[in-house]
């Protein structure tokens, strides 16, 4: 079975049930609806905003139209089709239409510059790219240099260098032969976050995708009655693989285009969402708004909201303790994974283990975990080593990059690049990224430990610790601190709070400035190193 079989099953068993809802609070509700079967709905008594909804039958018909269109353009088994779209209700039918043909879907980061788009198209050997209006300028910049890539446009005002997807859809049938895919067929190419240069292409088979759906349902118990609020970008494995829990259960999902606290609460309230996956910055913003009184729980219908979970980056313990004070009845889970391990769930805390908040958890459903030294030997319990994963969701390879594959895959084991330790109960604690360790005077400092300590200081909204060059110690720990808006807090106040750390772990430099995070919530430490002069230091360490 593959995830495409799940879609076809849902269309047979629950054809008229709602599958996907798209909400865009900033888009006027009079916007023209693309693809004529999509219906603009504005239920009475709800806030006026742009809202679209499709059933499982329409979802499957859309995917069929995409598949027929692709086949008419010579796309078939082994072809690669890139997707460069912002989150929208069209995204997933396009993804499934690609898979139905036996081609590989190639989701692309919407933050890529023109040269990165070109690089990823060439690396993945994509023969078509479907893109949206936000990317016209970037795609036009490279259009002449990628003649091997057919360009297909979704939106109003199709540029002259692309074909119009809506017109192609109108010419395509809504019927398609039943799926003949097998779990061992190639399915998708995802890209690494590219924090150390251009991204690497990560090849996955269908078995990885279907396993992620099973993992999600086992971990979070999705049923047909659940409604999942999806906010993160769908190009990322995290968002999509969490949504696979809705796919396998036949439940409804809401794609929300907006991250403001009131926008999230309004969507949960009006759409009766039961499961929400947040990134750390959004959870922080919600707590700040609740603390200030700008957001009031009593103004929304939130009693059906049963699970809040977080992944994609280390989660400060203090954040979850604050969250559970406001929402004592919420189940909570932390999800850990990589695009190389098909996203979240390789390790997870488990909703029954909230007493272990701070750990990333225990091996996920179907996964094995060990913590190893440089020779792949397990380190003693409590010692720090590199986290390694083994399971059905491990990537096939880095596509067209055998050296990087050999460096990362050791037999059936995937080296994550994350340093971790295991406690006496078998729970794993993430210490830091291997490349982010700060070595000061011969001592290893793990920035995540310092960040977790500092994040508990109320005036601090966000914090990132990096190493800066130092002539005597080699490097020192510097903390970039973003304060809660309007608070009265100085560097001296922060230094005084840090006296609670062992002397060697205290940041030697405090920088009051915004903490940049990418679209999946990860701190952009390479950007910080470049801003504050540590880039050369990191390069020299990576070569050693």
pLDDT tens profile 61-84: 999 999 999 999 999 999 999 999
Give the least confident one: 2-6, 51-55, 195-199, 258-262: 195-199
Long-range contacts of 492-496 (CB under 8 A, 24+ apart): 493/459, 494/454, 494/457, 494/459, 494/460
Has this prediction a pTM greater than 0.95? Answer: no
Average pLDDT over residues 147-174: 95
User: What is the DSSP secondary-structure string of 225-267?
Assistant: T-EEEE-S-TTSHHHHHHHHHHHHHT-EEEEE----HHHHHHH
Average pLDDT over residues 204-208: 97
CA distance 508 to 226: 48
Average pLDDT over residues 366-389: 95
User: Percentage of the chain with pLDDT > 70?
Assistant: 90
Entry field: residues in the chain: 544
pLDDT band at 537 (very low <50, low <70, confident <90, very high): very low
CA 485 to chain centre: 27
Average pLDDT over residues 434-457: 80
Write down the mean pLDDT value for the chain.
89
Long-range contacts of 408-415 (CB under 8 A, 24+ apart): 408/340, 410/376, 413/370, 413/376, 413/388, 413/389, 414/338, 414/340, 414/341, 414/388, 414/389, 414/390, 415/372, 415/386, 415/388
Average pLDDT over residues 37-64: 71
Average pLDDT over residues 47-65: 88
Average pLDDT over residues 401-414: 95
Phi, psi of 133 (to 5 degrees): -65, -25
User: According to the model, what pLDDT value does residue 197 have?
Assistant: 61
For the chain, domains (ranges, CATH) are: 3-215 (3.40.50.12780), 437-543 (3.30.300.30)
Task: Please work out, in degrees rounded to the nearest 5, the angle formed at the alpha carbon of residue 480 by the alpha carbons of 281 and 371.
Answer: 70
Q: In the numeric block, which tokens belong to residue 91?
A: 């995204």
Residue 270's contacts (CB-CB under 8 Å, 6 or more residues apart) are 46, 47, 301
| End-to-end Cα distance, the chain | 46
User: According to the model, what pLDDT value does residue 529 have?
Assistant: 83
pLDDT band at 344 (very low <50, low <70, confident <90, very high): confident
Q: What is the DSSP letter of 497?
A: H
Residue with the bigger pLDDT between 93 and 36: it is 93
pLDDT band at 520 (very low <50, low <70, confident <90, very high): low
User: According to the model, what pLDDT value does residue 311 have?
Assistant: 74
User: According to the model, what pLDDT value does residue 540 have?
Assistant: 37
CA distance 325 to 278: 17
User: According to the model, what pLDDT value does residue 517 have?
Assistant: 84
> Does residue 303 register a pLDDT over 70?
yes
Q: In the numeric block, which tokens belong to residue 385?
A: 């080593």
Average pLDDT over residues 407-422: 93
Average pLDDT over residues 14-26: 93
Residues 370, 388: contact at Cβ < 8 Å? Answer: yes
Residues 400, 202: contact at Cβ < 8 Å? Answer: no
User: According to the model, what pLDDT value does residue 28 have?
Assistant: 56
């Amino acid at each position: 079975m593959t995830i495409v079989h799940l879609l076809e099953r849902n269309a047979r068993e629950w054809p008229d049930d709602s599958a996907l809802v798209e909400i865009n609070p900033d888009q006027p509700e009079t916007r023209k609806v693309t693809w004529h079967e999509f219906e603009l709905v504005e239920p009475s008594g709800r806030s006026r905003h742009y809202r679209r909804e499709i059933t499982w039958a329409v979802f499957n018909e859309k995917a069929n139209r995409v598949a027929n269109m692709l086949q008419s353009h010579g796309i078939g088994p082994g072809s690669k089709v890139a997707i460069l779209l912002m989150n929208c209700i069209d995204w997933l039918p396009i993804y499934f239409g690609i898979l139905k043909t036996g081609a590989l879907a190639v989701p692309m980061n919407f933050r890529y510059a023109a040269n990165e788009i070109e690089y990823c198209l060439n690396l993945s050997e994509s023969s078509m790219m479907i893109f949206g209006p936000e990317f016209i300028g970037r795609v036009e910049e490279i259009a002449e240099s990628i003649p091997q890539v057919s360009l297909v446009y979704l939106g109003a005002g199709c540029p002259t260098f692309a074909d119009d997807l809506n017109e192609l859809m109108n010419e395509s049938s809504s019927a398609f032969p039943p799926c003949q895919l097998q779990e061992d067929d190639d399915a998708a190419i995802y890209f690494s976050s590219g924090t150390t240069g251009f991204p690497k292409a990560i090849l996955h088979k269908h078995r990885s995708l279907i396993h992620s759906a099973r993992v999600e349902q086992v971990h979070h118990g999705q049923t047909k009655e659940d409604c999942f609020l999806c906010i993160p970008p769908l190009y990322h494995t995290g968002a999509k693989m969490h949504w696979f829990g809705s796919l396998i259960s036949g439940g409804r999902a809401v794609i929300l285009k907006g991250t403001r606290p009131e926008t999230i609460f309004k969507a949960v309230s009006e759409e009766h969402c039961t499961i929400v996956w947040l990134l750390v910055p959004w959870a922080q913003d919600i707590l700040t708004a609740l603390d200030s009184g700008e957001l009031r729980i009593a103004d929304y219908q939130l009693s059906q909201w049963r699970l809040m979970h977080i992944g994609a980056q280390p989660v400060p313990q203090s954040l979850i303790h604050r969250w559970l004070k406001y929402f004592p009845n919420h189940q909570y889970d932390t999800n850990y994974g990589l695009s190389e391990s098909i996203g979240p769930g390789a390790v997870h805390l488990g909703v029954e283990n909230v007493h272990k908040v701070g750990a990333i958890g225990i091996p996920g459903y179907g996964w094995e975990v060990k913590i190893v030294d440089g020779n792949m030997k397990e380190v003693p319990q409590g010692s720090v080593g590199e986290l390694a994963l083994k399971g059905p969701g491990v990537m096939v390879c880095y596509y067209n990059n055998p050296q990087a594959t050999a460096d990362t895959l050791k037999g059936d084991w995937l080296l994550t690049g994350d340093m971790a330790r295991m406690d006496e109960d078998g729970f794993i604690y993430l210490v830091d990224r291997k490349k982010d360790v700060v070595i000061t005077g011969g001592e290893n400092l793990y920035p995540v430990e310092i960040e977790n300590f500092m994040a508990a200081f109320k005036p601090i909204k966000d914090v990132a610790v990096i190493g800066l060059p130092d002539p005597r110690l080699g490097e020192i720990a510097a903390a970039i601190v973003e304060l809660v808006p309007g608070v009265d807090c100085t560097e001296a106040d922060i230094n005084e709070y840090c006296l609670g750390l062992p002397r060697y772990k205290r940041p030697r430099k405090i920088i009051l400035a915004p903490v940049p995070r990418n679209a999946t919530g990860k701190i952009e430490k390479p950007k910080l190193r470049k801003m504050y002069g540590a880039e050369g230091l990191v390069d020299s360490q990576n070569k050693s």
